Amino acid sequence: MFCQGCIVSEHQALPTHWTQEWNGSFFERRGLKSLGLEIQLGHPVGFRCPHPLTAIKTFTLIDVSGIHNVGVRFCNCDSPRDPQTCATFAVVRLFQLLNCLDKVSSHDFLRSLEFLTNNDGFSPLPDRRRAFRHIVRQYRTTLMMKRAGRGHSSSGVSGTAQGELALQCRACPQPARNLPYLTHRTHRRPTTPPPP
């Protein structure tokens, strides 16, 4: 058992943990935001920004352990575009795997995370499906750029032309690539049907 101040100081770098507080008769699940944890973005853990922006009231962090409301302080040294939702790489990789193997939709995946977070149905969570789908699209685009080696190109990611990330089918015959020399010329099918 820890006091509130110790819990907050121990969880500066672990905002996705759940805590339990004794309410007089049983342990009740509490988020770290309700205990006063605020995460400083743009600076190392434990350092405060000299020019912090005010915290957004509902900043949502999507993780494998559930959907968390987190208190954040944005750094005014850079210029963020007012984000309100983020997701960990672990949850995006898990969704990618479940989506490719089991055809799990983003709606069903987020509903399962909502039930993992709070299964009583009395305190609904904000709808973050649109933001999560945007995060997944960004993740998939980044993976495509990485696999195509666009980061090492002199023109970079912005110089990627349309269709440049498409993969060629290995099973389709391509002369001078996966067909032996002159194979495509010697084994032609007749164009007219044989006589009866």
Share of the chain above pLDDT 70, in %: 84
| Residue 52 vs residues 13, 35, 40, 79, 85: alpha-carbon distances, Å | 18, 20, 8, 11, 19
Top mean-pLDDT range of 104-118, 122-136, 168-182:
104-118
- Do 73 and 49 touch, CB atoms closer than 8 A? yes
- Do 59 and 84 touch, CB atoms closer than 8 A? yes
- Do 54 and 46 touch, CB atoms closer than 8 A? no
Convert the pLDDT of each residue in 69-90 to its tens digit: 888 877 766 555 667 788 999 9
Q: How confident is the model at residue 56 (pLDDT cuts 50, 70, 90)?
A: low
Q: What is the pLDDT of residue 70?
A: 85
Nearest to 32 by CA among 4, 62, 58, 59: 4
Share of the chain above pLDDT 90, in %: 20
Q: How confident is the model at residue 20 (pLDDT cuts 50, 70, 90)?
A: confident
**Which is it for the CA torsion 105, 109, 114, 116, positive or negative?**
positive
Q: What is the pLDDT of residue 81?
A: 66
Is residue 110 over pLDDT 70? yes
Top mean-pLDDT range of 98-112, 119-133, 167-181:
98-112
- Do 70 and 61 touch, CB atoms closer than 8 A? yes
Is residue 133 over pLDDT 90? yes
Q: What is the pLDDT of residue 194?
A: 63
Is residue 145 over pLDDT 60? yes
Q: How do 19-22 and 85-87 pair as beta strands?
A: unpaired
Is residue 188 over pLDDT 70? no
Nearest to 69 by CA among 114, 103, 108, 104: 114
Is residue 42 over pLDDT 80? no
